[in-house]
Amino acid sequence: MQDLGSGMLRKGCFILATAGLLLFSVGPFGWEVLTSIKPSSEIAQSPVVYVPSRVTFEHYVALFARRDFGGYLVNSAVVSSLATLLCMIAGMLAAYALAKLNIPGSPLFLVIVLAVALVPPIILLIPLYEMMRWADWINHRGALVLPYAALNLPFATLVLRAFFRQIPQDLLEAARIDGFTRVGILFKIIVPLSAPALATTAILVFVFCWNEFIFALTFITTDAYKTIPVGIAGLSGVTSPYEIPWGLISAAAVTGTLPLIVLVLIFQRRIVQGLTAGALKG
Amino acid sequence: MGKLPDHGFGLLLLLPALVLVSLMVLYPLARNVHLSFYEKDLHSGLESRFAGWYNYQRLGHDSRFFTSFFNTVFFTGVSVSIELLLGLGFALVLNASFPARGAIRAMALIPWALPTAVMAMAWTWIYNDVYGVLNDVLLRLGIIDEGVAWLGTPSAARWAVIFADVWKTTPFVSIILLAGLQSIPADLCEAIRIDGAKAVQGFRLVTLPLLLPSMVVALLFRTVHAFGIFDLIYVLTGGGPGGATETVSVYVYYNLFRYLDFGYAAALVVATFLVLLLVAILTYLPMLKREVELG
Amino acid sequence: MKLRTFFYGMGIGALVIAAAAMGWTFLAGPGAREGGRAGQKVVISALMHVDITGAWHELVARFNEENPDVEMHYIEGPWSTDTREALYTTSFLAGESPYDMVFMDVIWVPKFAAAGWLEDLTDWLPPEQWKEFLPGDLEGSKHQGRIYRVPMYSDVGMLFYRRDLLEAAGLEPPTTWQDLIVMAQKLQKPPQLWGYVWQGKQYEGLSCNLLEVLQGFGGSWVDPVTQEVGLDQPEAAAALQLMHDLIHKHKISPPGVTTYQEEEARQIFQSGNAVFQRNWPYAWVLAHQEQSPVKGKVGMAPMVSQKGQDGSGAQGGSGFGIYKYSKHKRAAWRFIVFATSSRAQKFLHLQEGRIPTRHALFRDPDLLEKSPHLSTVYQAFQNTALRPPLPNYAQLSDIVQRHASAALTGKVPVREALRRASAETGYVVARAAEAKPGQ
């Protein structure tokens, strides 16, 4: 939204900043990618090998051949999608309620939401595990969907609430007068206006679910239902169980992250900037 | 249903969120608070024996807890500050119009998208003194003479851990701030430019205040996440060297799964939670009030 | 108008229910219990490490074949032992654990036994048959004199050396620390070639390294019977001081050794960047792989010690226990007997290089032919160092780790670190003793 203007100095600073951003973000990841295509013997060498003697895809092949990595991808996708959906819906409704509808005692609800955000997930592990055992939901993907949605609700609710509040009240008043129902206002006016916030929140929640480890590890022990992080933790050396298979792990990290990057690429195109300008006219 | 007054309807909309959260979080939390008043460890044969305030008294004398708390505060304060600055800078860059913006935005998210446990392992390896990439690059650039053990001394380890965390979570901040920047109405930006105000002034007087809500949220959640950080530290240093990077959640984890001291771990969590709640209320509520005033 | 809204509502409601139902079945997993009955068979299971070579799956298949009324499920867990311990713990706490057999590291035994999660197996075998197992492994399977675990794999800390470098200099492998230090100083060329790499990171491996040095000085950590703490004794000070000096005074260990676990030390040694290494026997197998730069140049010997004392390596290893509340203990026992038999252990060694736990196998000609290093390892088994077999060992280990790490990184002087460690250890031991008289 900002035009940084012309001027060589400005442009130079900008290019420098962008380069810095790229180096920062991609650097260590680039190292992972490089490692994933190096032959095993060259991985932990000193001095460091930057250009491998030969590029090999054996780690990627091993990933899908020896372990059911494709299955892990599917599991992660299912769990993350459903959890994100659940979280976004509940969060949107709650944020709308807290932001625009006059609820008695809304500070109390905010404190509750805040309090939930402060709970360290590790202490939820054992009680939730017992709960899941009781519901016979161990090795059931639902055992992950509900906790993930709940853990991200405070975040979704508070972020969306902050963005919803920015929408001018008169706009909503006008809509009411025009005959919109409250739910209609939410879905037909507020949602389009908050597209950046919604997309952002959804992406961040999705990534959280995708990479969550402790709950996934504890609630799912059958290989067929494992998610990616748990799958990676189960990778072992080719020749010995003590060996940490760097090549394999790097390949897994790269493969596991690619869907997320693609997702972001898709989503961010949907954030069309002109939306906000359009709605405010008239 | 359309006949319900606003506040009733609002409560209805809140219901799904409340139910989910009560079941998955509040109930276990309540059980945890309950457990903190009992002794449940190997000494009690893992039976719950009522112990009143015993665990809290123990906590009051536990220097290891205070050290871990201090470590956590230090870690959180420094990390979040750096992330906020860096995140804002990145958000500004990403907000501008330039070719391949979409691809660069996706790339900027990469650190956040990588699974923590894997990246933590990669960091131990990058930081290695003999075959680590960091040392290799610095040696080649002539910045250092010999390999540094980045995780090998308490002071260096603290900063190494902070850097690894900043690397991972800056995208989280920048993407939220980016969304905030994009929500600033286009005509407002137009207006500033037409008025001839310099970019910096416009930023300070208009952009920053409008960004405040998103900054507050980003700040809040980053602080909370940073305070509860576990995976990164567990893999990178295990809390070492010499306990220098041991944070509260690491200490809680050890009490739970290594020492099987469940009553005490529950008390640790409750104590930390209360402190955090206090801090959050004290900082967030005033901001809330300001929000309400600003309309 | 009202009718239309009503039908709208019904339609949407039906859609939602249908979607939920589809989602439910889509989400569904196979359900919880791994144990129980599958038809007429008794199903037993254990959480174990990843089966990379497929050897275990073969073993399990053979067992299932030979025992048609039992079906054993081998559940693969993460490769980190600590994580597996947490998984076992969580499942036990929730009651009615799905695991019938407990595949345990040696340091878990007292803790799990004291927690009441393990079946006392002492009387399940006559004493002569227990004696067929290595003494160190057997000791590590006990809690208060009763046996809770049948040893499956064994492990002991060993000293590795570059045979080619020593031979070129006309040196015999060292038996004392003094010898090692002198040799390392002579042969090393830091930073390309360091003298001695070991595990100095703040984790369980540090406790092992320290215990080995400590026992090599004739000192002790905590006496399991008298509960006396040996950390404030001169031997302990000498031991920790030595480790500190390896880095800072003699400079034969890189300063980064305080960040090394097993893999880091192994990588450095295997790449040819170290003269001596302390590690577990698995490093031997890997050092002799095809692409290893040090293939054929490596020697292995028991750990060194102070002059006049016996060297001892830390006792490691894993074995099977039986979950106290398992409904299929007899079936579980049958599997354990099968898995720990000479036949199975020999098979596993030939497939994966696992160190057996039975005396007889160390004299087996087939094994010795494939792995001549087994005789060196057997020699080391004559005098292993067992970490204090107390239920709260984890706490004791953490205390020692933290303070030793502080001393090694120069943050705290050695004497002071040991004073604190000793005080904290004494406190923990005393609290444990008073809380449960005779438990």
Which residues of A fall within a CB distance of 8 Å from B216? Answer: 162
* In-domain check, residue B35: no
Which residues of B fall within a CB distance of 8 Å from A260? Answer: 109, 113
Alpha carbons C358 and C258: distance in angstroms, whole number: 35
Q: What was the pLDDT predicted at B202?
A: 66
Stretch B198-226: mean pLDDT: 80
Stretch C348-373: mean pLDDT: 93
Mapping DSSP to helix (H, G, I), strand (E, B) and coil, where does residue C231 land? Answer: coil
Stretch A126-154: mean pLDDT: 91
Inter-CA distances, C238 with A93, B73, C131, C398, Å: 66, 37, 36, 20
C156-314+387-434: CATH superfamily: Periplasmic binding protein-like II (3.40.190.10)
| Closest C-alpha among C53, C44, C52, C144 to residue C97 | C44
Stretch A64-85: mean pLDDT: 90
- Model confidence at B269: pLDDT above 90: yes
Pairing of strands C70-76, C41-48: parallel
Q: What is the pLDDT of residues C14-53, one digit of tens each?
A: 666 656 655 665 555 454 444 445 567 899 999 999 887 8
Tokens of B98: 């330039």
Q: What was the pLDDT predicted at B193?
A: 61
**Which chain A residue has the Cα nearest residue B250?**
A122
Q: What is the pLDDT of residues C363-415, one digit of tens each?
A: 999 999 999 999 999 999 999 999 999 999 999 999 999 999 999 999 999 99
Which residues of A fall within a CB distance of 8 Å from B2? Answer: 181-182
Alpha carbons A184 and B2: distance in angstroms, whole number: 11
Inter-CA distances, B145 with A48, A221, B124, C260, C274, Å: 16, 48, 21, 21, 20
CATH 1.10.3720.10 segments of chain A: 67-234
Cα angle vertex B134, ends B128, B136, to 5°?
Answer: 90
Cβ pair A221:C87 closer than 8 A: yes
Q: Taking a contact as any Cβ pair under 8 Å apart, which residues of chain C between 174 and 193 contact chain B?
A: 191
Alpha carbons C195 and C212: distance in angstroms, whole number: 18
Stretch A160-168: mean pLDDT: 87
- pTM recorded for the entire structure: 0.89
**Which chain C residue has the Cα nearest residue B257?**
C86
Q: What is the pLDDT of residues C259-302, one digit of tens each?
A: 999 999 999 999 999 999 999 999 998 899 888 899 999 999 99
Tokens of A210: 């995708």
CATH number of residue B192's parent domain: 1.10.3720.10
Chain C contact for B255, CB < 8 A? no
Contacts of residue C403, defined as CB under 8 A and 6 or more positions apart, other chains included, come to B242, C412, C417, C418, C420, C421, C424
C36-155+315-384: CATH superfamily: Periplasmic binding protein-like II (3.40.190.10)
Q: What was the pLDDT predicted at C219?
A: 93
Which residues partner with C74 through β-bridges?
C46
Q: What was the pLDDT predicted at B209?
A: 81
Mapping DSSP to helix (H, G, I), strand (E, B) and coil, where does residue A55 land? Answer: coil
**Which chain A residue has the Cα nearest residue B174?**
A200
* Fold of the A67-234 domain: MetI-like fold (1.10.3720)
Alpha carbons A219 and A130: distance in angstroms, whole number: 10
Q: What was the pLDDT predicted at C87?
A: 93
Tokens of B135: 């040392």
- Model confidence at B254: pLDDT above 90: yes
Alpha carbons A130 and A137: distance in angstroms, whole number: 10
- Model confidence at A86: pLDDT above 90: yes
**Which chain B residue has the Cα nearest residue C86?**
B257
Q: What was the pLDDT predicted at A278?
A: 33
Domain that includes residue B261, residue range: 63-294
Which residues of A fall within a CB distance of 8 Å from C352? Answer: 240-241
Q: Residue ranges per domain, chain C?
A: 36-155+315-384, 156-314+387-434
Can C36-155+315-384 and C156-314+387-434 be said to share one CATH topology?
Answer: yes
* In-domain check, residue B277: yes
Residue in C28, C93, C282 closest to A140 by CB: C28
Q: What was the pLDDT predicted at C23?
A: 61
DSSP secondary structure, chain B, as one string: -TTS-HHHHHHHHHHHHHHHHIIIIIHHHHHHHHHTTEE-STTTTT--EE-TTHHHHHHHT-HHHHHHHHHHHHHHHHHHHHHHHHHHHHHHHHHS--TTHHHHHHHHTHHHHS-HHHHHHHHHHHT-TTT-HHHHHHHHTTS-SS---TTTSHHHHHHHHHHHHHHHHHHHHHHHHHHHHHTS-HHHHHHHHHTT--HHHHIIIIIHHHHHHHHHHHHHHHHHHHHT--HHHHHHTTT-STTTT--HHHHHHIIIIIS--HHHHHHHHHHHHHHHHHHHHHHHHHHHHHHHHH-
* In-domain check, residue B282: yes
Amino acid at the residue B224: V
A176-185, A209-218, B2-11, C19-28: the lowest-pLDDT one = C19-28
